[in-house]
Amino acid sequence: MSVAVAIDRVEKRFASLRALAGVSLRIAEGEFFGLLGPNGAGKTTLISCLAGLARPDSGTLTVMGHDVVTGYRDARRLLGVVPQELVFDPFFSVRESLRIQSGYFGIRHNDDWIDEILANLDLTAKADTNMRRLSGGMKRRVLVAQALVHKPPVIVLDEPTAGVDVELRQGLWQFVRRLNRDGHTVILTTHYLEEAEALCGRIAMLKEGRVVALDTTRNLLARVSGQALHLRLSGPAPLPPALRARASESEGMWTFQLAGVGEIEPLLVAVREAGCLMDDLRLTQTDLEDVFLGVMQSSSPRQETSRP
């Protein structure tokens, strides 16, 4: 299987901050690949290095075999990036912005493709509207459109649905899925873990500038099998240490992974005997969020290797 993006031992510092600490990844052509991690994990820095917006201190990155430093022009032509920030030119309409973006890549007379992008992103009615007059969600749609005007084989989506309504989100993913089926490689960063679980065939999780988990989505989900019991406590009595050791905590909710439903009653009895009062109780099937929380709460990041 051919490699679309190769990242080899990439390191990047900003003064005393080590943003990337030897990241290595191989992303195959045609993959829908997820890049997950908390804020500050190094996801956007890695994308900036891949797009040539930042230069790594060491290591190499290639796009379809072209080095992003020594062969920047070729690498950039093969890459479409949707940035996290809302960056736009306030002096042009949506259609003019897309034509200008096309010109950066030496492409002219591609209005048919621009019309198709506008239709798929529900921007047709706004085609002649000045960028300043668009809402935040509409501007984000235009960023997606700009990343696609030159039909790049590799598409990087950095939080593309942040602040976007549910209807557009569904339409966007239908369009991106179609591009992926047509052979485009898609790299996605998102804080909506249900999106990554539904879309990505393989996922890398970053923590403190390192890859701490890298596997297929199915294998990652298999790490935490069965059901989970979620408890929110009230009152002065804290969860005792023996129960804390079995659980993970996020925003006041304690989560216990269960091997079977037979564990529920003894667990609730132990909580009551400890004098804990419960505000909320939920039983769910485990999902990617459970895996993510478990990985992020591990004591020390470690580099894992998994290739497509």
d(CA 293, CA 282): 17
* Co-location of 118 and 242 in the same domain: no
Residue 260, domain member (yes or no) = yes
If one counts every other C-beta atom within 10 angstroms of the C-beta of residue 225, the result is: 11
- Average pLDDT value for residue range 122-144: 89
* Co-location of 212 and 249 in the same domain: no
| Of 221, 247, 268, the domain-final residue | 221
Tell me what pLDDT residue 308 has: 60
- Into how many domains does the chain fold? 2
Model pLDDT for residues 271-302, shown as the tens digit of each residue:
988 888 888 998 887 788 878 888 888 745 44
| Of 173, 199, 221, the domain-final residue | 221
Judge whether residue 52 has pLDDT over 60.
Answer: yes
* Co-location of 137 and 281 in the same domain: no
- The crossing angle, in degrees rounded to 10, of helices 136-148 and 166-181 is 10
* Co-location of 88 and 102 in the same domain: yes
Residue 293, domain member (yes or no) = no
Domain that holds residue 175: 3-221
Task: Return the HEC string of 252-300.
Answer: CEEEEEECCHHHHHHHHHHHHHCCCEEEEEEEEECCHHHHHHHHHCCCC
* Co-location of 158 and 197 in the same domain: yes
* Co-location of 140 and 176 in the same domain: yes
Judge whether residue 27 has pLDDT over 70.
Answer: yes
* Co-location of 209 and 247 in the same domain: no
- Average pLDDT value for residue range 159-163: 78
According to DSSP, the β-strands at 58-63 and 66-67 are antiparallel
Phi and psi angles of residue 85, each rounded to the nearest 5 degrees, phi first: -80, 150
Model pLDDT for residues 242-262, shown as the tens digit of each residue:
888 888 888 888 988 887 778
Burial class (CB in 10 A: 0-12, 13-18, 19+), 117: buried
Given a contact cutoff of 8 angstroms between Cβ atoms, the answer to whether 47 and 218 are in contact is no
Residue 17, domain member (yes or no) = yes
* Co-location of 14 and 64 in the same domain: yes
Residue 197, domain member (yes or no) = yes
The CATH number for 141's domain is 3.40.50.300
Model pLDDT for residues 186-203, shown as the tens digit of each residue:
999 988 898 899 999 999
- Average pLDDT value for residue range 141-168: 86
Residue 297, domain member (yes or no) = no
DSSP states of 81-110 as a string?
A: EE-SS----TTSBHHHHHHHHHHHTT--S-
* Co-location of 63 and 79 in the same domain: yes
